[in-house]
């Protein structure tokens, strides 16, 4: 009753030809897909899995500080007890894999110019306060930094006398403010140790309204140009520096 061969024979010839062409095209597509899509494609996801190994095998240029420590223990020991303890050797000396591979015969960078140290230590407004920064024009001009500072232990030969060496942004802000004639020490008592061990010994900060009142109350004994206010009526419960930034005070 149901004979596939009989049904097949009833299909017109042009339809069979068309079907054969379709079958051929589909077969060609399957072969092309097989040839063009890389073997590892789709193994891990919609990408060529072999690419992972290719990227993994790229050459390494920076050896890392552990590698440096294998031969230069002495230098690392000095570095670790200095302000530069967090610094990687290759930050200054450049990529060191070739140096390691050549057993030390490949010369690394030895930056000696002022400009190199300036990359980190020239004053910029955006640098965090407390980070040592110098005025490149006035700080021993034209003298290489390494004459006074050993790069592996950069503590200056004598503690800096100016606060601005580390707090340049505050100093530069103060210099264009009405408080420009005030010394830092007028408001902050800095222990001598602060200059040698800055984070352990912190300078003091004024804690009471009365401190500002020494110059700014109505009957204070101070120059007449200084703006005066009635401390009892002005500012409510706020302390002065909650509104007036002392390094750039604004009265308006």
Nearest to 89 by CA among 154, 146, 156, 152: 152
Shortest distance, position 212 Cβ to another protein, whole Å:
19
Nearer of residues 94 and 213 to another protein, judged by Cβ? 94
Q: Which of 27, 52, 102, 202 lies at the binding interface for another protein (CB under 8 A)?
A: 52
| Nearer residue to another protein within complex by CB, 80 or 218 | 80
Q: Give residues with Cβ within 8 angstroms of 82, minimum separation 6.
A: 152, 153, 154, 155
According to CB under 8 A, which one of 64, 203, 206, 213 is a site residue for another protein?
64
DSSP letter at 62 equals -
When the beta carbons of 84 and 217 are compared against another protein, the nearer one is: 84
Per CB under 8 A, 227 contacts another protein:
no
Residue 90 contacts another protein per CB under 8 A = yes
Within the chain, strands assigned E span none
| One residue of 24, 95, 156, 191 binding another protein per CB under 8 A | 95
DSSP state of 229: B
What is d(CA 57, CA 120) in angstroms, rounded to the nearest whole number? 33
Residue 153 engages another protein in binding (rule: CB under 8 A):
no
Shortest distance, position 173 Cβ to another protein, whole Å? 6
Site residues for another protein, 101-130, by CB under 8 A, read 118-120, 122-128
Cα–Cα distance measured from residue 29 to residue 27, given in angstroms and rounded to the nearest whole number: 5
Copy the structure tokens of residue 160.
Answer: 């800096």
CA–CA gap between residue 81 and residue 156 (Å, rounded) = 14
Tokens of 157: 């030969």
30-49 positions binding another protein, by CB under 8 A: 38, 41, 44-48
Tokens of 246: 């002392």
251 binds another protein (CB under 8 A): no
**Which tokens in the block code for residue 231?**
């401390």
Give the DSSP letter of residue 195: G
What number of chain residues touch another protein (CB under 8 A)? Answer: 46
Q: Binding residues for another protein, per CB under 8 A?
A: 38, 41, 44-48, 51-52, 54-62, 64-65, 84, 86-88, 90-91, 94-95, 118-120, 122-128, 131, 172-173, 175-177, 248, 250
């Amino acid at each position: 009753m149901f004979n596939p061969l009989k049904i097949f024979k009833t299909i017109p010839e042009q339809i069979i030809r068309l079907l054969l062409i379709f079958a051929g095209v589909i077969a060609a597509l399957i072969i092309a897909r097989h040839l063009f899509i890389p073997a590892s494609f789709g193994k891990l996801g919609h990408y060529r899995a072999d690419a992972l190994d290719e990227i993994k095998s790229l050459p390494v240029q920076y050896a890392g500080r552990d590698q440096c420590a294998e031969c230069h223990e002495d230098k690392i020991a000095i570095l670790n007890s200095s302000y530069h303890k967090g610094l990687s050797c290759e930050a200054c000396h450049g990529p060191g894999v070739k140096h390691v591979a050549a057993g030390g015969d490949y010369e690394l960078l030895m930056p000696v110019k002022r400009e190199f140290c300036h990359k980190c230590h020239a004053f910029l407004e955006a640098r965090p306060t407390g980070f040592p920064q110098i005025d490149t024009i006035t700080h021993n001009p034209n003298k290489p930094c390494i004459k006074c500072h050993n790069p592996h232990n950069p503590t200056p030969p004598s503690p800096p006398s100016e606060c601005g060496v580390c707090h340049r942004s505050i100093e530069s802000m103060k210099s264009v403010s009405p408080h420009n004639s005030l010394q830092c020490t007028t408001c902050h008592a800095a222990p001598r140790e602060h200059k040698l061990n800055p984070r352990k010994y912190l300078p003091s900060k004024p804690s009471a309204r009365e401190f500002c009142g020494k110059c700014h109350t109505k009957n204070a004994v101070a120059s007449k140009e200084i703006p005066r206010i009635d401390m009892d009526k002005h500012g409510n419960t706020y302390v002065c520096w909650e509104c007036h930034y002392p390094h750039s005070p604004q009265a308006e």
